Amino acid sequence: MSGIQRTALILTIIGAINWGLVGFFQFDLVAAIFGGQDSALSRIIYGLVGIAGLINLGLLFKPSEQRADQPEARPTR
């Protein structure tokens, strides 16, 4: 997994936690930290989380890792 995908995954997890807080407690943590839903910084965070979600769509179509019980293919020199 590349650094961009890891960053995107972290942002997606933050977004999921925030949506969970909104759904269960009607509390928007991003808005509370960064000055409301209409503040520029909150909108940037929301945008980054949205882009991260799009990047993570690629994980759905990525082939799964090789199973542990299968021998690894070693590159030839």
Query: Which long-range contacts does 42-49 make (Cβ < 8 Å, 24+ apart)?
Result: 48/11, 49/11, 49/12, 49/14, 49/15, 49/18
Mean of pLDDT values over 47-74 = 80
Look up the pTM and report it: 0.74
Residue 46 has pLDDT above 60, yes or no: yes
Residues 29 and 17 sit within 8 Å (Cβ to Cβ): yes
Q: Is the pLDDT of residue 6 over 60?
A: yes
- Domain borders along the chain are 3-61
In this prediction, residues 49-73 reach a mean pLDDT of 79
Residue range 16-32: mean pLDDT, rounded: 95
